[in-house]
Amino acid sequence: MGSADSKLNFRKAVIQLTTKTQPVEATDDAFWDQFWADTATSVQDVFALVPAAEIRAVREESPSNLATLCYKAVEKLVQGAESGCHSEKEKQIVLNCSRLLTRVLPYIFEDPDWRGFFWSTVPGAGRAGGDDDDENARPLAESLLLAIADLLFCPDFTVQSHRRSTVDSAEDVHSLDSCEYIWEAGVGFAHSPQPNYIHDLNRMELLKLLLTCFSEAMYLPPAPDSGSPNPWVQFFCSTENRHALPLFTSLLNTVCAYDPVGYGIPYNHLLFSDYREPLVEEAAQVLIVTLDHDSATSTSPTVDGTTTGTAMDDTDPPGPENLFVNYLSRIHREEDFQFILKGIARLLSNPLLQTYLPNSTKKIQFHQELLVLFWKLCDFNKKFLFFVLKSSDVLDILVPILYFLNDARADHSRVGLMHIGVFILLLLSGERNFGVRLNKPYSVRVPMDIPVFTGTHADLLIVVFHKIITSGHQRLQPLFDCLLTIVVNVSPYLKSLSMVAANKLLHLLEAFSTTWFLFSAAQNHHLVFFLLEAFNNIIQYQFDGNSNLVYAIIRKRSVFHQLANLPADPPAIHKALQRRRRPPEPLSRTGSQEGASMEGSRPAAPAEPGTLKTSLVATPGIDKLTEKSQVSEDGTLRSLEPVSQQSSAEGSPAVEEPDQAWREQRRLSSASASGQWDPTSEWVLSWKSKLPLQTIMRLLQVLVPQVEKICIDKGLTDESEILRFLQHGTLVGLLPVPHPILIRKYQANSGTAMWFRTYMWGVIYLRNVDPPVWYDTDVKLFEIQRV
């Protein structure tokens, strides 16, 4: 039958379904088979031939027919899984049902009255024609999920058959050990199967359906206590699914083994359309959704770890019930970590490679999914995190993240990407090794719209952060605390900042310490505290080697004197705030010498008008996001979190934090009737007295006269002579006793878990446009907005 006839017949069936007012019996196979038995319709055809309005009409006017359609389609998938899909006809039926369910499911989820439908058992739907006891019937959702899992390891349909002869009986399907059919070599599997285009396409259709099943989460509004797990994910990742381990491994290996460059031959991807990439994308999306698990609240019952082979570590206490999270957290072999890290780094760097030889390699689009996956790996598997930081390989993740942050800074539709990039760097910066690794010279010349500099990866990080703060858009302001926390966390380990980076840090201090900025919002002064803390760490722990920063501090000494003499009387506050009545100014760029940008770079562009974006929930403040720890002499960390608010107020001034005085500040400042922030003298004095200026003031007191003397004696205006003097100078014994190093480590909390859920589903919603699985359905987890 021609494809046109096929479409016509399918459309006729859809029209019959939408116009029938009477229920059609489930046993009327002649009617139901029209939807899947005699047609060959692509997923795009199904979306075109089954309009949204008609699905909704059937749902409202003949609900029993929609219920029967879903039930019959699931039944066909179950039969296909049981039989092993030997004939072409059976394969076609499975694909048709899979496409039809992908089309219909979102309309079931959007209606609260229908949500329980898949979790109910269908009366009289016993396996062998109704004689069975209904008690044993599984809920429809479970039958569907188990059928999808079986079909993903179906020889000659989604995996290579290992036998000479075809598998004859259904028995063989049940005895098949799917661990021998893992899709790709990598973690726990050494054999790389011959790529097969048809198998990849079939896997993709089934993964698309699986993702659609999981997407019920999109139709529930974001709840602060997102305690209830997604029932679809929960069942699929439980011990009920006998394919959980091979499927987890298949998805992870498919993503991490993918090489978009086309086996190293430039321009190779232009010769054949790459059919692997859509599968890899789909695999990455399914994987991150199965790993959506709130680690802050989980103390789950045990799981028997006996079947997991050697790739998983059995020495740890059994982890969460979600087997995917469990397996991920127990990967432990060095070669597996290496494979995962290399794979993710290769894929994240792909858009950067594009810029050396334009169009020479295929440019992947799923970097956001990869960042979520990398986050999950580091968050759930501490051994992986330590492995990442053990060598300079971590820089292969850092550079692409800085590239994405810099590139997205002016684009409102990519706020989510900015957040996840910063969250990952915050997580990494809590470990000493990250700061140490940043000292490696930066020689890769990825074209980025930033000033040219010669220096280390630390310089790159500071220059990019400065660019985000001074020339990003307004909605990034909540991230400033995070960006500067990262700088503080790494500062004690930075051996030598370049002059460019040193000037950028001082320019930020200058911008953040203007009176109008300090007084215009309740938490703006935290930014000054963070910068002063970073300077103190470098002066106390890395003075030798940081003559550029010391020189920059001497040149900008007036900023520190102004801070020490900050006016706190009401008239001065009032005058400073007069500037606020005007439209808010972006941070001034004057005083920051913006050398020429790197060759070949394009300026960061705003979103094209009309670009769709999804809304995000607010992220917790830095005090909720992190936990303060003190670094002891031997390098171990000791938590400094206050036992109770009262005891914390007596912390020594060196350790006391702006956020400890936070409640106090709210008390000291009245918010006026308009809800506008109204700073008082007491409030200014409450934090001004805690500004950690002693070390810097002492440094200026000792060095400024010496530097001035050199200039007068030698008639110098030449920087190099002064820098040479500072390089050989020492402040040993002249500075206050070094303060203990404070690190603010990321801590898991349900606020970020909810943020990740909305971000991840927003990405998946926007990236699935062909077919547009969720477009124009009534999603509740986020709003869809146009830029």
Helix pair angle (52-61, 88-109), 10° resolution: 70
pLDDT at 735: 86
How would DSSP label each residue in 363-380?
Answer: ----HHHHHHHHHHHHHH
Strand order in the sheet with 741-746: 637-639, 626-631, 741-746
pLDDT at 126: 40
In 3-state terms, what secondary structure has residue 437? helix
Contacts of residue 709, defined as CB under 8 A and 6 or more positions apart, other chains included, come to none
The span from the CA of 469 to the CA of 447, in Å, is 20
Question: Tokens in use for 701?
Answer: 């007191």
Helix pair angle (367-380, 323-330), 10° resolution: 70
Surface-to-core class of residue 769, CB atoms within 10 Å of its CB (0-12 exposed, 13-18 middle, 19+ buried): exposed
- Report which of 145, 124, 146, 151 is spatially closest to residue 136, judged by C-alpha positions: 124
In 3-state terms, what secondary structure has residue 403? helix
Question: Tokens in use for 108?
Answer: 């079931």
Note the pLDDT tens digit of each residue in 325-365: 999 999 999 999 999 999 999 999 988 876 555 566 667 88
The span from the CA of 214 to the CA of 212, in Å, is 5
Surface-to-core class of residue 298, CB atoms within 10 Å of its CB (0-12 exposed, 13-18 middle, 19+ buried): middle
The span from the CA of 396 to the CA of 275, in Å, is 27
Contacts of residue 485, defined as CB under 8 A and 6 or more positions apart, other chains included, come to 426, 429, 530, 622, 626, 744
Q: Does residue 40 or residue 686 have the better pLDDT? A: 686
Q: What are phi and psi of 90, to 5 degrees?
A: -60, -40
Q: What is the DSSP letter of 786?
A: E
Note the pLDDT tens digit of each residue in 249-303: 999 999 999 988 754 555 555 555 567 889 999 999 999 999 988 766 544 333 3
Q: What is the DSSP letter of 736?
A: P
Say if strands 784-786 and 637-639 run parallel, antiparallel, or are unpaired.
unpaired
Question: Tokens in use for 499?
Answer: 């002059």
Mean pLDDT of all residues in 667-694: 77
The span from the CA of 281 to the CA of 347, in Å, is 11
Note the pLDDT tens digit of each residue in 114-145: 989 999 887 544 444 444 444 568 899 999 99
pLDDT at 354: 61
Longest alpha-carbon distance in the chain? 106
Question: Tokens in use for 294?
Answer: 């709130």
Q: pTM for this one? A: 0.89
pLDDT at 671: 44
The span from the CA of 89 to the CA of 39, in Å, is 10
The span from the CA of 358 to the CA of 351, in Å, is 10
Q: How far is CA 154 from CA 176, 235, 494, in A?
A: 9, 21, 54
Q: Which helix (H) or strand (E) holds 626?
A: strand 626-631
The span from the CA of 469 to the CA of 423, in Å, is 16
pLDDT at 595: 61
Q: What is the DSSP letter of 639?
A: E
* C-alpha angle 309-152-96 in degrees, rounded to nearest 5: 170
